[in-house]
Structure 1
């Protein structure tokens, strides 16, 4: 019976925790809000090509007609498409939405099966269903976000090599497109896929600056933004692009070295976040084992369950806050 009460309290705490984390993820950061306000006030006249549609590219949200009509033209659809492209996941938005719906259904099924396995009452069954639904809702976007971070990190790790290869090709007499084509053949994925996509965009009639800016918007990488800015300035003002790219490569190399130093310096604080989050749980477990008559009231009484669930939620919030404080932008 005590084990059942523990599961109920933990399930409720996890539901509250995932809910708070989901709300926190939905709130845009200050950097995002500032960029949005600047773009709105400026009207972004220098980037009209983002509103154009490539007739040779399938822009449908889904191959199913009514789903395409339902999701087309929505801000969530455009954001999700960019996120999937940044993650390198070859899915349409409609397919991704279907996967999220299936994940919720699967979470509900798992929650129902768990409640049935322990012969839970109605209130506990509802709790398990809520937990399964929350996990099903959050799992796909969390996975996509992880893929985006890993792919961006992999691309940023190849940018120095990209600059060096393009600069070498330019010094041997290649043009910009020829140098990018040679770099696409020389480099490994995922950067080669992005370069190939830029080349395809240019060969279909796009401008090189537009193709670079589209890739920059897709990747959201500070290092790649430096490369795009350097090439755009060189095309408008002139200069030796090979030397410029070598200078950018040196800057990126220095930033990566500094980022590793910052990561090493903040490793203690990141590990402290894990200790701070795990310590209360360990203490509650030990005290419950040492004095079960006193501390099992946290699991057997209604007020104890509420207190335990609130403590778990606050513990998770504290962990998220510490992680955010130790995450420094370099």
Structure 2
């Protein structure tokens, strides 16, 4: 494929990718509440007919009116994508997210093909472009989970204090939400709003565990659910839970310190072949011509990169301790 055809395709993919990234920021002030109020006002003024009822408890990455998104529900990868967006607290929409990944892969692949005229590099770039948005989303979710877990023990202590002062459980959650910062504050406020419109606290806690992938949070949700079914002193249960969460966090820090050297060694060993390849290509003309100018060289580079990455991920998996 010549540059005459590649350049328009690259331009189209790049512009569409930029629109997908910028458009949510331009309409950030158009919250769901604003949109519903505007829709209701238009319906009253123009037709006098009420708008359709919606389920205020429903939280989904799909718009019910989109045929494409309804069809996407039939495919398992869309559930994974929706879960990842929920963990990262990004209301991007599943269809928009998947389209963004495809466009990122197409843009990077077309750009590399245009610059290098090398299908192997273009294919590798396309795969990297497809994976990059997911890596960013997972990194955001991991940072959010870490921040949430750092606040969890303090939040439980605040709830214990409120319960001992004679407040109910929902009042204790409100007290805790008022004293803490995001992400704990926003998640507790979501629970409060869900209960205020008729939801069940156990269902609200279950929804929280689906938005924050934290073992400590799941432990808290299970403890509260058992206490509400079997009875008992909730303040004492939460106090013991706070101590358990702190102990788990301390052990987690010790494990991370003990495995840091193994993780760093795996990273160095994984990056060494790539650095050596760049060095050899830069200083040796013959090596560069054979590796970059022949089909067998492309195949060798591709296999080397694949097996190096496999070895790196295996070493990271081995050094990761489950606790």
- TM-score in terms of structure 1 length: 0.73
1:204–1:283 CA distance, 2 compared to 1 (3 A): same
CA contact (8 A) 1:103 1:137 kept: yes
Tell me by how many angstroms 1:262 deviates.
0.9
- The yes-or-no answer on 1:210 pairing with 2:203 is yes
Task: Output the aligned Cα RMSD.
Answer: 2.5
Quick check: 172-181 or 58-67, which moved more?
A: 58-67
Q: SS at 1:96's partner residue?
A: helix
Unmatched runs of 5 consecutive residues or more in structure 1: 1-53
- The yes-or-no answer on 1:82 pairing with 2:83 is yes
Unmatched runs of 5 consecutive residues or more in structure 2: 1-53
Size of the aligned set, in residue pairs, is 269
Tell me by how many angstroms 1:271 deviates.
1.1
Tell me by how many angstroms 1:66 deviates.
2.9
- The yes-or-no answer on 1:280 pairing with 2:270 is no
Which has the higher relative contact order, 1 or 2, with Cα contacts under 8 A spaced 6 or more apart? 1
Q: SS at 1:228's partner residue?
A: helix
In the other structure, the counterpart of 2:72 is: 71
Match of 2:172 among 155, 175, 179: 179
Tell me by how many angstroms 1:258 deviates.
0.9
- The yes-or-no answer on 1:136 pairing with 2:136 is no
CA contact (8 A) 2:281 2:288 kept: yes
Q: SS at 1:266's partner residue?
A: helix
Tell me by how many angstroms 1:67 deviates.
2.4
Tell me by how many angstroms 1:190 deviates.
0.4
Whole-angstrom CA distance in 2 between matches of 1:114 and 1:294: 21
In the other structure, the counterpart of 1:9 is: none
- TM-score in terms of structure 2 length: 0.75
Tell me by how many angstroms 1:107 deviates.
2.0
Whole-angstrom CA distance in 2 between matches of 1:67 and 1:294: 49
Match of 2:160 among 155, 167, 174: 167
In the other structure, the counterpart of 1:6 is: none
Quick check: 62-71 or 201-210, which moved more?
A: 62-71
Whole-angstrom CA distance in 1 between matches of 2:105 and 2:69: 21
CA contact (8 A) 1:114 1:128 kept: no
In the other structure, the counterpart of 1:127 is: 120
Whole-angstrom CA distance in 2 between matches of 1:303 and 1:74: 38
In the other structure, the counterpart of 2:307 is: 314
